[in-house]
């Protein structure tokens, strides 16, 4: 005879230990024997965790789903397969997610937000993310998504300490506490006293399985006591077929075989379940109550002593002396009855003491978990404030806030990656590359942020380092789009555009939802003068992420090359609205204004660009070119002499100096600088940038904004 629950426990144990093949094999055997929604959900979970999403989707789609957990899993499979309409239909009309999905509601809302985002319903997506955060403030992904969408979200409100009263997860937390304290019926014999076995060994499979927590898929079996109760309450055995085979009952550590003496105790099990259910309810109050008070069971006086400063390990003798507890013996008992009564009293008191000790053990743990939750929320509030500043590209403030994070968190690779990103957005490529290099040294298998690192090396013209990075990332994981972005940047730096385009296309193929990959592909197309394909890539990027200022900048530069200056100004303003602190973006705006004849406004914009990014030679070069065009060649000389010192081998600087001296009537100096420019660039490969000082014929190099 086979009981369903023990097989499920074994499957969950395999899943928890990452033995997906074993879990699938056993779950398939169980599903073949018992074709129910619960076994279908279990098998679908095994398929999904093993990465076999198509199989999980087909399996769950083949039956009518009534349980919320099953519908949620099917919706996740549909989203991964990009079947967004089907996923939304599976989750329902979203009238009351909390009452329908219970503790799973925040995750359902997050999944709905993903669906809305991918179908360009961003207002509904933002609302769903906010509702998920209201239910569960630990949903960090929801917070970051809101920030990335440009939503004004206050981390002080989201991660405020009052959210530690989170009613969404009280029963889950209590179940976790119960499991950590090994409160379970598994492997326990139901004795005459029906006491709780608190000495379950770590080898107990059920103590490690989510089945005793939130993985039980029926609402009335989520408590661990009720889940385990079904094993012992004479559950009707499931018929087995010869092909399925017989599992030896005596070898399963989770099966209970009733004995003759235990049969009478079956009637007492409902009372035990009700009592422990009440205790679990009281433990919920203990988790979040201001003072560690808890009253369990029918003995309030004993419970009131559990969390006092006195020693609660009182003895049998102390209890017998208590004035509130009197035991009256029969008038004429027999000697045998006296001995039996004394034995029962002693057994009852010992049992009560053991239970009191177990509760005393649980209570500090609960209080500790609550304190840990508050500390975590405070940390998330600090990280959230810093991340929000970075997402709105207030990068200097973001760096300051991240550096105020506690030392251990500051040293973590994620925080260091965020700081490096902030330096990159400020066009401080040297500082960013230094941090990224240290991350690579300490965490060589980490790829997050390495696409930004490769772009920093592209700007710094570090060919050897960029080649090494690209090679290492491709060798590490050929199915990671970040590796191919690094490879594309590497060949772009070497001016091998065909190969660079090939690798950028590969990155887009692996991750078609990567806005940054589409933007880099667009810049490479623009450098190859394939303007139509460049515009297509840029527009794809902004459709994926409307806040991709790199893509808006790309559209503006393509419009400038087509001498569509009004369109260029409109698109560069869109980019500046996202990143107002970028000198490169303001520089491009100044060129568009100069081309439209707004010389005073253009010079003011370029002054602001130089002030924002004093170390960026491009800003000074374009200011000099506009000054020359505005009839101020003497003012242009200051910028050009500065550029000559910091970029002594840049042919365009000498070319522009030649034009300035020619304007000033210094013919011999003009010819000398023209000659130097030709020596530095005999083939004229930089000729397409010569028009930079004549905005009416602007054609910039494939420069990428900070």
Question: How far is the C-alpha of 439 from the C-alpha of 411, rounded, in Å?
Answer: 10
Helices 633-646 & 617-629 angle (0-180, nearest 10): 160
Question: How far is the C-alpha of 105 from the C-alpha of 128, rounded, in Å?
Answer: 11
**Backbone angles phi and psi of 363, in degrees to 5:** -60, -50
Three-state SS string over 562-584 comes to CCCHHHHHHHHHHHHHHCCCCHH
Q: What is the DSSP letter of 165?
A: G
CA proximity to 470, closest of 443, 442, 504, 497: 504
Predicted model pTM: 0.70
Buried b (16+ CB within 10 A) or exposed e, 361-384: ebbeebbeebeebeeebeebbbbb
Question: How far is the C-alpha of 369 from the C-alpha of 22, rounded, in Å?
Answer: 34
Give the sign of the dihedral formed by CA 227, CA 232, CA 236, CA 240.
Answer: positive
Report, as ranges of residue numbers, the positions in the chain whose pLDDT lies below 70: 1-3, 94-95, 161-370, 683-706
pLDDT in tens, 454-507: 999 999 999 999 999 999 999 999 999 999 999 999 999 999 999 999 999 999
CA proximity to 254, closest of 194, 175, 201, 216: 201
Q: Is 325 left (phi over 0), alpha (psi -120 to 50) or beta?
A: beta
Q: Distance of CA 100 to CAs 65, 89, 94, 221, 622, Å?
A: 14, 15, 9, 16, 60
Whether residue 170 contacts residue 413, with contact meaning beta carbons closer than 8 Å, is answered with no
pLDDT of residue 703: 52
Whether residue 291 contacts residue 285, with contact meaning beta carbons closer than 8 Å, is answered with no
pLDDT of residue 251: 42
Residue partners of 517: CB distance under 8 A and separation at least 6: 451, 481, 485, 504, 507, 508, 511
Whether residue 420 contacts residue 439, with contact meaning beta carbons closer than 8 Å, is answered with yes
pLDDT of residue 240: 35
Residue with tokens 């970051």: 144
Could you tell me the two tokens for 303? Answer: 């419970």
Quickly list DSSP for 39-78. HHHHHHHHHHHTT-HHHHHHHHHTS---SHHHHHHHHHHH
SS3 content of the chain, % helix, strand, coil (to 5): 70, 0, 30
Instruction: State the number of CA atoms in the 13 A half-sphere of 333 facing the CB.
Output: 11
CA proximity to 663, closest of 700, 693, 634, 695: 634
Residue with tokens 């649980």: 362
pLDDT of residue 357: 59
**Backbone angles phi and psi of 507, in degrees to 5:** -65, -40
Ranges of beta strands (E only) in 510-578 are: none
Neighbours of 684 (CB within 10 A): 11
Which residues are bridge partners to 2 per DSSP?
A: 238
């Amino acid at each position: 005879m086979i009981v369903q629950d023990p097989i499920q426990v074994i499957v969950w144990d395999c899943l928890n230990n990452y033995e997906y093949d074993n879990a699938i094999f056993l779950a398939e055997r169980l599903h073949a024997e018992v074709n129910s929604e619960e076994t279908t959900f279990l098998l679908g979970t095994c398929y999904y965790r093993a990465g076999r999403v198509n199989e999980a989707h087909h399996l769950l789609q083949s039956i009518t789903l009534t349980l919320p957990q099953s519908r949620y899993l099917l919706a996740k499979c549909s989203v991964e397969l990009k079947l967004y309409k089907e996923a939304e239909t599976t989750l329902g009309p979203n009238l009351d997610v909390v009452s329908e999905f219970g503790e799973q509601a925040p995750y359902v809302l997050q999944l709905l937000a993903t669906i809305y985002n991918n179908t360009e319903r961003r207002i509904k997506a933002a609302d769903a993310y906010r509702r998920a955060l209201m239910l569960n403030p630990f949903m960090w992904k929801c917070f970051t998504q809101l920030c990335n969408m440009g939503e004004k979200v206050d981390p002080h409100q989201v991660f405020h300490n009052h959210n530690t009263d989170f009613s969404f997860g009280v029963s889950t937390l209590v179940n976790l506490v119960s499991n950590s304290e090994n409160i379970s019926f598994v492997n326990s014999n139901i004795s005459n006293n029906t006491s709780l076995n608190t000495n379950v060994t770590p080898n107990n499979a059920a103590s490690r399985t989510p089945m005793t927590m939130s993985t039980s898929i029926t609402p009335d079996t989520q408590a661990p006591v009720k889940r385990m109760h079904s094993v012992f309450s004479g559950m009707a055995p499931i018929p087995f077929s010869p092909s399925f085979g017989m599992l030896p009952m005596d070898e399963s550590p989770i099966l209970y075989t009733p004995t003759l003496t235990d049969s009478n105790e079956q009637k007492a099990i409902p009372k035990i379940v009700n009592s422990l259910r009440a205790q679990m309810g009281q433990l919920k109050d203990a988790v979040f109550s201001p003072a560690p008070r808890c009253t369990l069971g029918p003995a309030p006086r004993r419970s009131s002593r559990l969390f006092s400063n006195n020693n609660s390990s009182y003895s049998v003798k102390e209890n017998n002396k208590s004035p509130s507890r009197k035991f009256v013996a029969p008038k004429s008992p027999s000697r045998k009855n006296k001995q039996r009564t004394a034995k029962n009293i002693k057994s009852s008191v010992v049992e009560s003491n053991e239970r009191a000790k177990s509760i005393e053990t649980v209570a500090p743990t609960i209080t500790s978990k609550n304190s840990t939750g508050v500390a975590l929320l405070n940390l998330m509030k600090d990280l959230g404030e810093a991340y929000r500043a970075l997402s709105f590209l207030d990068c200097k403030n973001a760096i300051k806030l991240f550096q105020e994070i506690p030392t251990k968190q500051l040293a973590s690779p994620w925080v260091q990656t965020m700081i490096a990103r902030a330096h990159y957005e400020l066009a401080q490529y040297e500082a960013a590359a230094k941090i990224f290099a240290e991350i690579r040294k300490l965490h060589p298998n980490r790829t997050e942020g390495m696409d930004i690192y490769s772009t920093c090396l592209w700007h710094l013209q570090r060919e050897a380092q960029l080649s090494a990075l690209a090679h290492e990332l491709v060798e590490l994981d050929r199915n990671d789009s970040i590796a191919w972005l690094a490879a594309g940047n590497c060949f772009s730096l070497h001016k091998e555009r065909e190969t660079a385009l090939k690798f950028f296309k590969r990155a887009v193929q692996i991750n078609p939802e990567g806005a940054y990959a589409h933007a880099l592909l667009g810049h490479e197309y623009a450098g190859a003068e394939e303007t139509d394909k460049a515009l297509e890539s840029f527009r794809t990027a902004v459709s994926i992420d409307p806040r991709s200022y790199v893509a808006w900048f790309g559209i503006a530069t393509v419009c400038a090359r087509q001498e569509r200056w009004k369109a260029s100004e409109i698109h560069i303003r869109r980019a500046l609205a996202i990143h107002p602190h970028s000198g490169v973006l303001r520089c491009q705006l100044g060129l568009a204004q100069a081309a439209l004849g707004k010389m005073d406004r253009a010079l003011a914009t370029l002054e602001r660009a130089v002030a924002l990014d004093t170390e960026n030679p491009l800003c000074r070069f374009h200011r000099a070119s506009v000054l020359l065009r505005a009839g101020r060649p003497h003012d242009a000389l200051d910028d050009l002499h500065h550029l000559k010192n910091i970029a002594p081998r840049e042919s365009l600087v000498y070319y522009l100096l030649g034009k300035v001296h020619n304007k000033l009537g210094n013919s011999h100096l003009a010819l000398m600088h023209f000659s130097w420019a030709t020596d530095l660039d005999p083939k004229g490969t930089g000729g397409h940038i010569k028009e930079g000082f004549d905005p009416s014929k602007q054609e910039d190099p494939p420069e990428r904004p900070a």
